[in-house]
Copies of this chain bind each other. A is one copy, B any other.
């Protein structure tokens, strides 16, 4: 697989871990080499820093979600050296959500780092799309 394909697979794995509410898989998705450097923003949330804080938030979010399915669109991957930037739109189908604004579309910026065993997530920043642009 090319770098871009590997990054796409690692990015998709984060959403699959959420869909299956798999805490162990979510833990493997995120970097553990530099645990203090992890950053996560759930839609509408403040910024969470550090592996413990981030993984605890995922456990809480997944425990509060009965069903969720992601359809990722507009996925763009940029790899420079050992850093990858993924930007995409998350089209979300859900029964119960912790999202305070009930957004059906979320835009995300994810930063991944290349480690000995593959690409791991270092930053996930999701934000709710609250309106439509006039010229779109």
Interface residues of A, Cβ cutoff 8 Å to B? 37, 39, 41, 43-47, 49, 74, 76, 78, 80-83, 85, 87, 89, 100-101, 105, 107, 109, 111, 113, 122-123, 125-133, 136
Contact = CB atoms under 8 A, between A and B. Distances in A.
Given A46-B105, A46-B133, A100-B131, 11 more contacts: A39-B87, A39-B109, A41-B107, A44-B130, A45-B129, A45-B133, A47-B107, A78-B122, A80-B83, A81-B81, A125-B125
A106 to B, nearest CB: 9
A64 to B, nearest CB: 12
A101 B127 CA distance: 13
Contact of A128 (B44, B78, B80, B87): B44
17 contacts: A37-B78, A41-B107, A43-B127, A44-B130, A45-B130, A45-B133, A46-B132, A47-B89, A47-B107, A80-B113, A81-B81, A83-B83, A83-B85, A85-B122, A85-B123, A109-B125, A128-B130
Contacts of A107: 41, 46-47, 125
A78 to B, nearest CB: 6
Given A49-B76, A111-B111, A131 B44 contact: yes
A86 to B, nearest CB: 10
A105 to B, nearest CB: 7
